Amino acid sequence: MCVAWQLKEAMDKTFADRRQLVIKRKIGLAALKRVYPALFNEVEIWEELARVRGVNRTWEEELEEARMALKSMLNEVAFCDTLDEKLAHVLMEMREEHVVFGPPGGRAGPPTIHEEELWVEGVKVAQFERFMSKPDQYLTWGAAFTVFAQRLSFRATQAAAYWAGRAYAAPAVRLSAPASGI
Residue 9 pLDDT > 80, yes or no? yes
pLDDT score, position 45? 94
Q: pLDDT band at 118, cuts 50/70/90?
A: very high
Residue 58 pLDDT > 80, yes or no? yes
Q: pLDDT band at 175, cuts 50/70/90?
A: very low
Q: pLDDT band at 94, cuts 50/70/90?
A: confident
**Number of continuous H segments (helices) and E segments (strands) in the chain:** 9, 3
Using alpha carbons, select from 53, 46, 34 the residue that is nearest to residue 8.
46
Q: Which residue has the higher pLDDT, 181 or 174?
A: 181
Domain ranges of the chain: 3-167
What crossing angle do the helices spanning 59-74 and 42-53 adopt, rounded to 10°? 90
Over pLDDT 70: what percentage of the chain?
A: 82
CA 124 to chain centre: 15
Rounded-to-integer distance, Cα 27 and Cα 115, Å: 27
